[in-house]
Amino acid sequence: MFVKIQLKYGRETKEISIPARNLMGILEPEDLPGVKDPLEEVRQALANPRGTPLLREMARGKRNVVILCSDISRPAPSQIILPPLLDELNRAGIKDDQVTVIFGLGIHRPHSPLEHRQLVGEEMFRRLRCLDHNPRDCVQIGQSSRGTPVQLFRPVAQADLIIATGNLELHRKAGYTGGDKALMPGVCSRESIQGNHRMMDQPGAKPGQITGNPIREDMEEAGRMAGLAFIVNAVLNSRQEMVKTVAGDRIQAHREGIKYVDRMYRRAISRLADIAVASCGGFPKDQSLYQAQKGLENASQVVREGGTIILLAECGEMYGNRLFEEWISRARSPDDPLRWLQEQFVLGAHKAAAICRVVQKKEVFLISRMPKEAVENCFLRPAETVEQALAKALEKHGPHAQILVLPHANTTLPLVKTS
């Protein structure tokens, strides 16, 4: 007998079959219901900000407003957040031509004009100036206590009101997305981002942790230095429905929002599996191997040493980062990128080391659109289907191997309960 399970792959859904006798469980988010009217949810958040006056009061007399928005690699509902946000600014006397939307790229690729339109919606694209952040056009406003240079994209540094938007979910190193993360690394220079990310191997840099997390604390120090005045963050369930929107102070509103994230995405398991079958959750989370690595890392937390991970990730944009591709391509063994990273932290290339850290201890199959040779170049095993990879894994681990399925591996935080 087989259990049929739907897993997202790019913009499609694939049905997979798992032998019922082997299925240990399906580690899914405990979704909260989506709100009936997302626009009204944003309006209510703006009408009841946490820790700040109303945005219209804060905006009065300002002449140059920037709204930070997520890039296309994130599922942030900017097209829903922006209309009520702009209404609030208009009520303060701010004209449309005084507002600029800036997409925080970090070190990701630039957008096309069509992608700008898709991200903000037709009306907002027509009314507002939309810009991609440029990490090469930044000005330094200071240095954090941890030594990170805080270098902001020039139009952000020149604004007299900075508003950050985005979605809230778990993040593998910053604890959570949202809040100050829209500013650092979102609209900073490569030097700033590298300075912040070099702390990713410190003990506190892990998903679901705020206090004692050096990356999150460094980001929040940068936000304070930059004068980030107001945030609007949405929490989405696994169906990409808006569950809650929070607005106001960059710390207080953020902390309120993560309560909803934890309720849905922190999931406990009683023991480790022999095999994990994981989907990143579809587009945009699996648009490249660079993005899909997050799902691989979470899946690795539920599999015993020597076990097998079967990762379903379309990777239509292949590697997704030039330096990542360079490091993984010239590595002769998984040890190489880890050694290179110890010698010098290189932003982007660090993901090569992250993948190699997993494959040193666990077998990984990848079902993707990447050519077979490219997959093997990453020390992963290519497979055409989940069933094909699963047959090989069962042959290796035996007929009684325990299988755990993660339909949303990028955003689910597995917690192993110990007796």
Tell me the pLDDT of the chain (419 aa) as tens digits: 999 999 999 999 999 999 999 999 999 999 999 999 999 999 999 999 999 999 999 999 999 999 999 998 888 999 999 999 999 999 999 999 999 999 999 888 899 999 999 999 999 999 999 999 999 999 999 999 999 999 999 999 999 999 999 999 999 889 999 999 999 999 999 999 999 998 988 889 888 999 999 999 999 999 999 999 999 999 999 999 999 999 999 999 999 999 999 999 999 999 999 999 999 999 989 999 999 999 999 999 999 999 999 999 999 999 998 999 999 999 999 999 999 988 888 888 989 999 999 999 999 999 999 999 999 999 999 999 999 999 999 999 999 999 999 999 998 999 887 65
Q: Given this model, what pLDDT does residue 296 score?
A: 96
User: Would you list the domain boundaries of the chain?
Assistant: 2-29+270-416, 38-264
Which residues neighbour 158 within 8 Å (Cβ) at sequence distance 6 or greater? 64
Compute and round to an integer the Cα radius of gyration of the chain: 21
Q: Given this model, what pLDDT does residue 108 score?
A: 85
CATH fold of the domain at 2-29+270-416: 2-enoyl-CoA Hydratase; Chain A, domain 1 (3.90.226)
Could you tell me where the DSSP H helices lie in 209-310? 214-226, 252-265, 289-300
Q: What share of the chain is helix, strand, coil (3-state, %, to 5)?
A: 35, 25, 40
| Residue 252: strand pairing partners | none
d(CA 255, CA 253): 6
The CA-atom distances, in angstroms, between 158 and each of 140, 152, 154, 311, 353 are 12, 9, 6, 44, 37
Q: Given this model, what pLDDT does residue 201 score?
A: 81
Q: Given this model, what pLDDT does residue 97 score?
A: 98
- The one-character DSSP state at 50 is B
Expressed in angstroms, the distance from the first to the final Cα of the chain is 32
pTM for this model (two decimals): 0.84
The CA-atom distances, in angstroms, between 170 and each of 61, 70, 236 are 36, 15, 11
Which residue, 326, 308, 315, is CA-closest to 293?
Answer: 315
CATH 3.40.50.11440 fits 38-264, yes or no: yes
Torsion of CA 390, 392, 393, 396, to 10 degrees: 160
Two tokens at 48?
């009841």
d(CA 289, CA 369): 10
